Structure 1
Amino acid sequence: MANIKSAKKRIRLNEDRHTLNAPVKSEMRSSIKRVEQFVSEHSVEDAKTALKNAIKKIDKAVSKGIVHRNNGDRQKSRLTKKVNQLGA
């Protein structure tokens, strides 16, 4: 356990940030899984609407600094590619 006052504060702040960031990251992951589920079911319209929602969630996580920009771009690219292959 930390003995120094600044280290105790750092632990407290990290816990506070974790409680705020965890739901955003969880929503992002869930929306990604939802898109992949619709793709596996070959449901084109549902996959497209879920993709829009997933892109919003990914962008929100990137803007809050929860996920790195390149990671978010990669996730969006892969999901879009899957949905486009489904429609073709």
Structure 2
Amino acid sequence: MANTASAEKRNRQAQKRRARNVQVRTGVKSAVKKAREAITQGDGNAARDAFKAAARALEKASSKGVVHKNAASRKISRLAKAAAKVAAAK
């Protein structure tokens, strides 16, 4: 337990940040999952739209510090590569 008022405040702040970060991270996971599903189904238009949504979510999360920028960049790159492969196959 926190012994000082400032430590109690830091705990409250940490809880708020954690709740916000969990929400953002969940949204990113959902967007990436939808993009992967669209890519595996082979629908070029759906894959492109889902990729755009996932890339946007990853960029926003990395700008907020929820996801490391290199990790976000790596995931975007891999999704883009897969989406391009689907688009080229059509």
Amino acid paired to 1:80:
A
Give unmatched runs, 5+ long, in structure 2. Answer: none
Q: CA deviation at 1:6?
A: 3.3
Look up the match of 1:75: 75
Look up the match of 2:47: 47
Look up the match of 1:28: 28
| CA RMSD between the two structures | 1.3
C-alpha separation between the residues in 2 aligned to 1:67 and 1:6? 27
Moved more, 1-10 or 44-53: 1-10
Q: CA deviation at 1:85?
A: 1.4
The CA deviation string for residues 33-74 of structure 1, in whole angstroms up to 9 with x for no partner, is 001001111111100011111111111101111111101100
C-alpha separation between the residues in 1 aligned to 2:75 and 2:83? 12
Instruction: Report the TM-score, using the length of structure 1 for normalisation.
Output: 0.89
Give unmatched runs, 5+ long, in structure 1. Answer: none
Q: How many pairs does the alignment contain?
A: 88
Instruction: Report the TM-score, using the length of structure 2 for normalisation.
Output: 0.87
Amino acid paired to 2:70:
N
Look up the match of 2:86: 86
Q: Percent identity?
A: 35
